[in-house]
Amino acid sequence: MQISSNVLDLPSFNFYKMKIFNTREEVSNFISSAKATNNTIGYVPTMGALHQGHASLIQQSVSENNITFVSIFVNPTQFDNSSDLDKYPRSLENDTQLIKEIDSNIIIFAPTAKELYQGNINSKSYSFDGLEHEMEGKHRAGHFDGVGTVLDLFFTLIAPTNAYFGEKDFQQLQIVKKLVSKYQLGVNIVGCKIFRESSGLAMSSRNERLSDTAKKEAAFINKILLDAKKQFDTKSAMKVEKWVANQFAKNNQFNLEYVSIANIKTLKPVKRKSKKQQYRIFIAAFIDNIRLIDNIALN
């Protein structure tokens, strides 16, 4: 059992039923009691429609902390497209079941936007030292201000010891590390490997919107990434990017939004390769109007 006996004494804790908080007050009351008895708190922020990728983060948190919080919140301020926000899959009941199967002691926090933002549903503006201007930042206006704002709110409220983020959103992971160090939020950020379908397709809540045929075709993204990795051993970043763009141009199921081979620290495109630096290749592409992203390490 991962949970310390102190936690079982907390007034609002119920061992047999899932604990779902909807208000900031419930969270702060719980956190003050938990912190008073020196529990470590693991936190996994999610937008719900949970899958095995999320589950792997939650399992890691459970194994490394006394208490695990999972937030389920589709954050309006990080969407630049209202139709994407409206169509984002929501399934709180299934999510609760999946979390319960991992560990029924996990605490779910599922606030409304009005509650979390205390009525002021707007982004603050952040500088992440240029990380926010690359890739997703170029194509999703205001996205990382929204991510920064919501995580600032969650981190302040939950005050986690450790917070878990997937490499699936690698740029987000680097930005969260920057947020925490720059604004001294005192949270240890843990990066977790990408969880994939057996076809290689990176698991994503957005995959739920794909038809069976599109889901099969979407495995193409990972296949191209793996081929690109092989080519990167001998070819320049620019040549590999061009090759990737050509493969997508030949495949009429997809619309490639961007391909970038970038330094993992600066997220800037590679001009000249150096053995001392680490690189990843990043792709965003649409299939059936659904936007998918993926990335892999190149060296």
The residue (of 30 and 195) whose beta carbon lies closer to ligand AMP is: 195
Cα–Cα distances (Å) from 253 to 8, 112, 218, 221, in that order, read 53, 37, 9, 11
In the complex, the smallest distance separating the C-beta of residue 260 from ligand AMP, rounded to whole angstroms, is: 18
Residue 54 annotated in active site: yes
Phi, then psi, of 191 in degrees rounded to 5:
-90, 140
Q: Are 57 and 165 in contact (CB under 8 A)?
A: yes
Q: How many Å apart are CA 5 and CA 14, to the nearest integer? A: 13
Regarding 204 and contact with ligand AMP (CB under 6 A), the answer is yes
In the complex, the smallest distance separating the C-beta of residue 138 from ligand AMP, rounded to whole angstroms, is: 19
Regarding 143 and contact with ligand AMP (CB under 6 A), the answer is no
Regarding 166 and contact with ligand AMP (CB under 6 A), the answer is yes
Query: Which entry of 51, 54, 133, 139 is annotated as an active-site residue?
Result: 54
Closest among 238, 195, 217, 192 to 288, alpha carbons compared: 217
User: Which of 69, 165, 232, 254 contacts ligand AMP by CB under 6 A?
Assistant: 165
Using CB positions, name the residue nearest to ligand AMP: 166
Cα–Cα distances (Å) from 104 to 18, 25, 96, 99, 107, in that order, read 6, 22, 9, 7, 8
In the complex, the smallest distance separating the C-beta of residue 203 from ligand AMP, rounded to whole angstroms, is: 4
What binding mask, one character per residue, do residues 36-65 give for ligand AMP by CB under 6 A, x or -?
Answer: ----------xx-----xx-xx--------
Regarding 285 and contact with ligand AMP (CB under 6 A), the answer is no
Total binding residues toward ligand AMP, as defined by CB under 6 A:
17
User: Which of 143, 168, 178, 280 contacts ligand AMP by CB under 6 A?
Assistant: 168
In the complex, the smallest distance separating the C-beta of residue 1 from ligand AMP, rounded to whole angstroms, is: 25
Closest among 186, 150, 193 to 45, alpha carbons compared: 150
State the chain's maximal CA–CA distance in angstroms. Answer: 61
DSSP 1-60: --S-HHHHTSTT--SSS-EEE-SHHHHHHHHHHHHHTT--EEEEEE-SS--HHHHHHHHH
Q: How many Å apart are CA 147 and CA 77, to the nearest integer? A: 8
Amino acid, single-letter form, for residue 79: F
Regarding 30 and contact with ligand AMP (CB under 6 A), the answer is no
User: Which of 65, 68, 162, 205 contacts ligand AMP by CB under 6 A?
Assistant: 205
Which residues form the interface with ligand AMP (CB under 6 A)?
46-47, 53-54, 56-57, 165-166, 168-169, 192, 194-195, 202-205
Which residues are part of the catalytic machinery? 54
